[in-house]
Structure 1
Amino acid sequence: MSLFKYYREMQKEGVILYFNGPISQMVVESIAELMRTKMRAEEAGMGAAQRVFAVLVEQMQNIVRYSSDRRAGSGEGLGEVAHGQVVVGREKDGRFFVACGNRIHAEDGGGLVERIGRLQAMNRDELKAHYKERRKASPGDSGKGAGLGFVEMARKAVRPLSCDIVPMDGSTSFFSMKVVTQ
C-alpha cells in the first residue's frame, strides 16, 4: 500500500478532507469544526463555508442514523457509531463538493433513489415550497425526522444531487451521494 499514491490521487481530485471509519455524533462535531477552521484558513467566504458545513453535517448525521453498519458506541457520550466515508473537495471550477458513502439495507435503496430523483427534478421555488411542507409534516415511520435533510442539501446545491447505489450482497448495498455547493 502506497499512501503517497492515494495522496497524489486525492490532490488531483481536489480532495480537502477524506475520512473513512467509525462516525458518531462526537466525530460529526469534531470533523465539522475541523472543516470550518480549514475553510476559514482558505478564505473560502462565509456563505460557501456555511453551505459546506451544513451539507457535511447533514451527510455525516445521515450515516450515523441510517447506515446498516452501525452499533452502540463504547465509551462516554459516543451514542451510536456507524461506519462510513466522507469526502470534501473542490471541483475544477472552484466549487466545493461534499460526498458520503455507507452501507444501507438493500430494501431501502429504491426509496432513496426515488426521493432524490424527485428533488433532482425540482427548481429553486419548488424546493423552497417542498421544504416548508416537510417542516410542517410529522416525522416519518422511522421516527428519525421529517425528511428535511435531502431537501436542505438540494436547496444548498448548485447542481442536482447525485447518488449511486451498488449492491454488495443479498441484504446490503453501498449508497453514495455527492452535493456540489458554491
Structure 2
Amino acid sequence: MNQLSKQILGAFDEWKEEQTKKTEMIDQANKETKSSKQVKDVNDFDLYNKIYNENILLMYKGAITFDLVTSVIETLDRKVAQVESDKKVQKLFYSAAVEVVHNLYHHMDEIKGQFEGVSEHDAKSGLITVLAKEKYYNILTGNFIPTKNTYDLKAKIDEVNTTDKDGLRALYKETLSNGQFSDKGTAGLGLIQLARKTGEKLNYKFDKVNSEYSYFTFQIKINRV
C-alpha cells in the first residue's frame, strides 16, 4: 500500500473517531444542559461545513439491506451526473460503485449478531463514504467481518494488487472457468473487475476487534482525468 493510500485510510479512521466523539459530546450535552439544542445546532453546522469542504457526495452509516443498496446506487448515479461532465467517467464510477456497495452487502451475512463491546445493530451496520476530489473520486466502505474470513479476502486482494493488466485479464478468465462461486460472492470476480476498470490498487486494512471479529476498511479511487 503506497503512502497516499495509507494517508487516505488513516484519515478515514480519524474521521470515524471524530464522529464518534462528536456524537458522545452531543449526547452528554443533551443530558447536562437546557442549551443542548444550541450545542447540537453548532455541531450539526460544523459537520455540514466539513461535508461541504471535503466534497462528500454521500455519507451513510447504518443497516445494509438490499433496498438500501439499491437506494445508494441510484443516489450516487444522480449525484455524480450533477458534478461529472465526462460520460465515460460517469459510467466507470457507476460500475465501481455497484461492485463496492454489493461487496459490502454480501459481507453483512457473515455477521450473526452482537459480540463483545458491539451491539447487534452496530455489528450489522456498514459505512459508505464517497468523496469527489478535483482529479478523482474516492469510495470508502467499512464493516465488521469474521476474523477467520480475513485471510482469504486478504489473499484475494493482494493477488489482484500484484497482478498486471494482462495478468488480471487472464485471472478473470481463469476464475470464470473454475466456476468457484458461492451464494454470497463470485470468487473475487468483483475485485478483479474493480482493478481492471479503474487501473488502481485496492486499498484496505483490517483492524482486529477481538479473536472472533475484525473491522474491514476498503477504498478505491476512480480517476476523473
Which TM class, normalised by the smaller chain length?
0.7 to 0.9
CA distance in 2, matches of 1:5, 1:115: 39
Instruction: Tell me which amino acid in the other structure corresponds to 1:105.
Output: P
The alignment status of 1:88 with 2:135, answered yes or no, reads no
Q: 2:99 maps to what in 1? A: 58
Give SS of 2:104's match: helix
**CA deviation after TM superposition for structure 1 residue 140, in Å:** 3.9
Give SS of 1:139's match: coil
Indicate the structure with greater strand content: 1
Give SS of 2:175's match: helix
**Radius of gyration: which is bigger?**
2
Unaligned runs of 5+ in 1: 72-81
**CA deviation after TM superposition for structure 1 residue 70, in Å:** 6.2
1:14-39 deviations in whole A, cap 9, x for unaligned?
Answer: 32111111111221111111111111
100-109 vs 1-10, greater mean Cα deviation: 1-10
Indicate the structure with greater helix content: 2
Distance 1:24-1:70 versus aligned 2 partners, 3 A rule: farther
45-54 vs 158-167, greater mean Cα deviation: 45-54
CA RMSD of the aligned region, Å?
A: 2.1
CA distance in 2, matches of 1:19, 1:70: 22
CA distance in 1, matches of 2:50, 2:112: 29
Percent of aligned pairs with the same residue? 22
Unaligned runs of 5+ in 2: 1-25, 27-42, 114-123
Instruction: Tell me which amino acid in the other structure corresponds to 1:87.
Output: T
Whether the 8 Å CA contact 2:203–2:219 is kept in 1: the answer is yes
1:129-149 deviations in whole A, cap 9, x for unaligned?
Answer: 211222222134666323211
Q: How does the TM-score come out when normalised to structure 1?
A: 0.83
Instruction: Tell me which amino acid in the other structure corresponds to 1:134.
Output: T
Instruction: Tell me which amino acid in the other structure corresponds to 1:151.
Output: I
1:28-72 deviations in whole A, cap 9, x for unaligned?
Answer: 11111111111111234222112221222222211221234468x
CA distance in 1, matches of 2:137, 2:105: 23
Q: 2:67 maps to what in 1? A: 26
